[in-house]
Structure 1
Amino acid sequence: MNRRNTISREFFATIAAVLVLGLSVMCAIQTALSAAYFISERRSSLTDVLNGAAALSERFADEGSIVTKPLQGDDILERAHSGYELFNTASGALVFIADENGQILLHTGDDAFTGENVPLAYIDRMNEGDIFVTGTLDGVYSAKYYTAGRCITVGGQKGYLFAASPMTALGGYMRDMLAMFSISAVVILVLCSILCWVLARRITGPIEDISEAARRLGSGDFTARAPVDGCVELADFATTFNNMAARLQTIDNSRGQFMGNIAHELRTPMTTIKGFIDGMLDGTIPPEETKHYLGIVSQETGRLARLVQNMLDITKLEAGEVPIHAQTYDLWKTVTDVVLSDEQRIEDGKIDIQGLGGDPLLIYADPDFVHQVVYNIVDNAIKFTPAGGTISFAAERRDNMVEVRIENTGAGIAPEALPFVFERFYKEDRSRGMNTRGSGLGLHICKILINLSGGQIHAESEEGKWCRFVFTLPVGQ
């Protein structure tokens, strides 16, 4: 299996490659610029030598020409040669003079020349202006030189003055320059490598921490969290990961609680059903009481069926599988229908109904959704309202929403329980199990249906006095 590099190694390798490439390009540019500068400086230096040698040649104009054969006086030749030697000593440049035929008449540095004449092509070019060439001057030198040439007139005679500097100096200059550049480059690479490694660890450290937290999370440890540090982007990434982990932990806790609640809610009625049936089968329950206990079994079976149906409804609602058929209609019609359907229970409980009816109040929602919400709330209200108590209804328009309030007298809800009344299987007294108080799914279904309808729902209560459920729905047109 191929081993992948870590992020820090990839980052370091990338930065190192960029640095090496950048330094290489810089070296190439620096070399080219340095060579051009050296040649330019050499040309300027040789031009200065030409100017000095030409001025020196003019001094011999009255004594005799040094560009005419035969030379007029050996003393003139010796003095001219001595003067040119001064330039050779001071600047390291060769100085020589040639006539119109290219024959070298006077020069310094005997070892540099091969004895060949200057090609006439260069003589012709010098008649048009100064020249600057590189190489052996077509065999005049035994090595390569930079050569500057100029046509001069001394004592009425035309001659051709040359100054030359060895090209080997460029090699030495470039070697020195490259040596200094190499030292600087090594220092830069070392410092940048250290800095890049520190920066890579600073950047990749939080990423590795997040990766480790992700591995723990993937293995089932939902308490795994990543440290929120580093740059803004990595801190945001860690925060997002932690939020996701927290939600997954909540979901996992909810799942475990949900499974426990289901087991608890199903076990109680099933135990009751099994106990009564076993009693009838083994004769513990007399035959004359069989009908009574079969009625209880039927009731428990019906509650089991309702519990299963409620769980199926919640699953479909949360998965978005239930279509919404919203329409505009009168809210009071649904409230009245629900109250009339529970009329017998209301009368048996001696409960007083208040606030029912009124002017039509249009809402825009699915009638089945609203009917289920009102039914669940009224069902709870009937269960928890004592004999002689009151259930009251109120509704009014608030901007573009209709606010509905259903209140009942009674024990109410404890303040610490209010935030949880809409959670699945939540019951304020968890010891009751499956009884007339319900399974704890009705209010959760209400919350889902109201949210799907575009509204909000919450509970209010004063413990020992009253309880009120308030929800909103969009106004109908």
Structure 2
Amino acid sequence: MDWRIMRRRKKTSILSYWTFRYIIILCVGFTIIALCALYWIRDTAKDSRLKTAGLLGQEIADRVTSADGTLNIPPQMDPLLDSRLRYFDFKGDLCLIITDDEGNLQYSKPPLRQDEVRSYLSDDLSASRRDNSQAVITPIEADGEQIGQVSLLLSKKSLSYSPNEVALLGVLFGTLILCGWLTIYLLSRKLSLPIRQVAESARLIRAGRYDVNLNVQSNEKELDELVDSFKDMASRLKQLEEWRALSLAGVTHELKTPVTSIKGLMMAVRDDVVQQEEAKEFLDIALKESDRMERMVTDLLDYNAFAAGYVEVRKDRLELGGLLSEIAFQWSLPYAGMNVTVETELPEQPVYIAGDALRIQQIVVNLLNNGQQAAVPGRPIELTLRLLEAEGKARIEVADNGSGISAEELPYIFERFYRGERKKRHIRGLGLGLTYSSLLASALGGELRLAESSPAGSTFVLELPG
């Protein structure tokens, strides 16, 4: 049930997924930064405004002190105070109270009565009585004695809050968030575009359409490698699909041909169409055709068993020189009296390896058969079986003097069911010999490869660990 729910869960694109989550992270991060910055700005602004208020109070104290050391409120006090408030940029509620040394009201702005002073200041006139304001007290002194005080009552909100600063902070962080989101959006869009095209092409391939066209230009190395690898994969899948269809038809044809031939030959013998010597000749042909069909079926069974991991490979101690001599002798027996020769070139010292004699024989016999099948009409078949030892590895070379392999066919000779044009026309088979031999070589811990090929012949190399 949970699995079905997960499958029904709506999927989102990379662009939406990353941009949405990035903007959330960005907003949370900048909100924390903004709150910290706002606290710091408010604290700094409050300290700065208190110092400014102290300077204003000191100036007013100097203005109201007369030359004879008495408290004297100048007549131009109101316009002077208004100009100073504009200069120091004090906004919000502000109350200025000037009292003498006995606490008597001498001047106030806005105008207050004596009994109202106690509603603004504490009994000792040293602090604000209201919770929403803060008092800045500046003593008025003359000849070293305090003759009064200037009390500035400022709104706590005006001390710590500045609309311009808050607006600037909001614009700054809004711009940063927008720029960050735009950056991740553009990067995610650039990243998701080739991935989306690759995903769309993958859906086409899954639907059986291998002619994909990926026109993606990317400066990023990883994306460029991804697109190139996908193009190669699509091309490879297309080739494999074509080979699969052709191979299926070829396998069917190759198996059907000997069956049809055997059936026709046997019916001719049964119906007395041919008799005596000719009938024996028909039976011999039928036996050869059955042998060919048996080899093809054996190739299929061996390949399928090995691909499924059902074939066991032994690790016996072997002397390769003697094994190769025996293989060459047994293989050449059916060709006695023909223009087929197998030469062996073996080192003087014995070469030992840990391997499976049967599997090595299968590989070498397959290579010898390929060399014999590559023969050029009119040219005696010469095969060379060579053994070398170097760097702790045994190297078996099987060389022929056949027609070679064309450059177009070289990349595909180890592919399953692949058969060159020449083999398709002249030789029956399934195209599994080299594929199976390569798998056996890998299972033995070695490698089978084509060393060289030309119209003068080909050389295959089997390397095995010592």
- Shorter-chain TM-score range: 0.7 to 0.9
The CA distance in 1 between the partners of 2:453 and 2:240, in whole Å, is: 29
Contact in 1 for aligned 2:392/2:465 (Cα 8 Å)? yes
Alignment partners' CA distance in 1, 2:222 and 2:381: 59
Native 8 Å contact 2:57 2:151 kept in 1: yes
Where does the alignment leave 5 or more consecutive residues of structure 1 unmatched?
67-78, 124-132
Distance 1:145 1:61, change over 3 A: farther
Residue number in structure 1 paired with 2:109: 109
SS in structure 2 at match of 1:161? strand
Residue equivalent to 2:394: 402
Superposed displacement of residue 212, structure 1: 1.0
Given the superposition, is the C-alpha separation of residues 29 and 153 from structure 1 closer, same or farther in structure 2, using an over 3 Å criterion? same
**Structure 2 counterpart SS, 1:394:** strand
Residues 338-389 of structure 1: CA distance to partner in whole angstroms, max 9, x if unpaired? Answer: 2332454232325455446663431423211221122233345556487975
Instruction: Give the equivalent residue in structure 2 for 1:312.
Output: 301
Alignment partner, residue 349 of structure 1: 338
Is 1:80–2:73 an aligned residue pair? Answer: yes
Describe the shift of the 1:112–1:39 C-alpha distance in structure 2 as closer, same or farther (beyond 3 A): farther
Change (3 A) 1:447 1:11: closer
Give the match for residue 16 of structure 2.
Answer: 9
Query: C-alpha displacement at 1:148, in angstroms?
Result: 0.9
Partner in structure 1 of residue 433 of structure 2: 442
Unaligned segments of structure 2, at least 5 residues: 1-7, 86-93
Distance 1:251 1:350, change over 3 A: closer
Three-state SS of the structure 2 residue aligned to 1:329 is strand
The verdict on how the C-alpha distance between 1:282 and 1:160 changes in structure 2, with shifts beyond 3 A counting, is farther
Query: CA, structure 1 residues 422+23, in 2 after alignment: closer, same or farther (shift >3 Å)?
Result: closer
State the alpha-carbon separation in 2 of the partners of residues 405 and 116 from structure 1. Answer: 116
Q: How does 1:187-202 map to 2 (within 5 A)?
A: 197-202=185-190
Match of 1:378 in 2: 368
Kindly state the Cα deviation for residue 329 of structure 1 after the two structures are TM-superposed. Answer: 2.4
Alignment of 1:70-219 (within 5 A): 79-80=72-73, 82=75, 85=78, 88-92=81-85, 94-98=95-99, 103-111=103-111, 115-117=116-118, 118-120=121-123, 123=126, 137-138=128-129, 144-154=132-142, 158-167=146-155, 170=158, 174-182=162-170, 197-219=185-207
SS of 2:426's partner is coil
Per the TM alignment, residue 273 of structure 1 is displaced from its structure 2 partner at its CA by 1.8
Deviation at 1:84, TM superposition (A): 5.3
For residue 359 of structure 1, give the secondary structure of its aligned residue in structure 2.
Answer: coil
Q: Which stretch has the larger CA shift, 385-394 or 297-306?
A: 385-394
Instruction: Say whether residues 1:54 and 2:64 are aligned partners.
Output: no
Would you say the 8 A contact 1:403–1:470 is kept in 2?
no
Cα 1:472–1:408 change in 2 (3 A) is closer
TM-score, normalisation: structure 1: 0.76
For 1:388 and 1:84, locate their aligned partners in 2 and report how far apart those are by CA, in whole Å: 130
Distance in 2 between residues matched to 1:403 and 1:160, nearest whole Å: 113
Across the aligned residues of Structure 1 and Structure 2, the Cα RMSD in angstroms comes to 3.9
Q: 2:357 aligns with which of 349, 364, 367?
A: 367
| 1:66-97 CA distance string (max 9 Å, x none) | 4xxxxxxxxxxxx4254754653333364434
What secondary structure sits across from 1:115 in the alignment? helix
How far the C-alpha of 1:213 sits from its partner, in A, is: 1.1
**Post-superposition shift, 1:194?**
5.6
Residues 1:55 and 1:468: Cα distance change in structure 2 (over 3 Å):
closer
The 3-state SS of whatever aligns with 2:129 is: coil
Q: Can you list the C-alpha shifts for 1:295-341, whole angstroms capped at 9, x where unaligned?
A: 43333223222211112222333444433323442222122222332
- Output aligned runs, 1:227-242, within 5 Å: 227-230=215-218, 231-242=220-231
- Taking structure 2 as the reference length, the TM-score comes to 0.78
Q: Measure, in 2, the Cα distance between the counterparts of 1:49 and 1:377.
A: 107
Change (3 A) 1:12 1:100: same
- Tell me if structure 2 keeps the 8 A contact 1:455–1:473: yes
CA 193–112 in structure 1, closer or farther in 2 if over 3 Å, else same: farther
- Matched-pair contact (CA < 8 Å) for 1:401–1:473: yes
With over 3 angstroms needed to count, the CA separation of the structure-2 counterparts of 1:369 and 1:397, relative to structure 1, is same
The aligned runs of 1:235-314 (5 Å cut-off) are: 235-282=224-271, 284-286=273-275, 290-314=279-303
How far, CA to CA, are the matches of 1:210 and 1:474 in structure 2? 41
CA distance in 2: counterparts of 1:198 and 1:289, whole angstroms:
83
> Which residue type is aligned with residue 368 of structure 2?
V
Please state how far the C-alpha of 1:266 moved relative to its aligned partner.
Answer: 0.6
Deviations 1:401-440 (A, max 9, x none): 333334455x533544772555545252412353xxx554
- How far 1:210 sits from its partner (Å)? 1.4
- C-alpha separation between the residues in 1 aligned to 2:135 and 2:449? 99
How many angstroms does 1:262 deviate by? 1.0
What does 1:327-342 correspond to in 2, within 5 Å?
327-342=316-331
User: Partner letter of residue 115 of structure 1?
Assistant: E
Q: Secondary structure at the match of 1:332?
A: helix
Structure 2 distance, partners of 1:208, 1:85, is: 74
Could you say if the C-alpha distance between residues 388 and 426 of structure 1 is closer, same or farther in structure 2, counting changes exceeding 3 Å? closer
- Rounded to whole Å, the distance in 1 between the matches of 2:452 and 2:164 is 89
SS of 1:90's partner is helix
Residues 220-266 of structure 1 deviation map (CA, whole Å, 9 limit, x = unaligned)? 22232544433333323323333433343343233223212211211
- For the structure 1 residues 360 and 468, does the alpha-carbon distance in structure 2 shift closer, same or farther, using more than 3 Å as the test? farther
Separation (CA, whole Å) in 1 of partners of 2:195 and 2:308: 34
The percentage of counterpart residues that share the same residue type is 16
Q: Is the 8 A contact 1:326 1:366 kept in 2?
A: yes
Length, aligned pairs only? 440
**Is contact 1:81–1:107 with CA below 8 Å preserved after alignment?**
no
Amino acid at match of 2:107: H
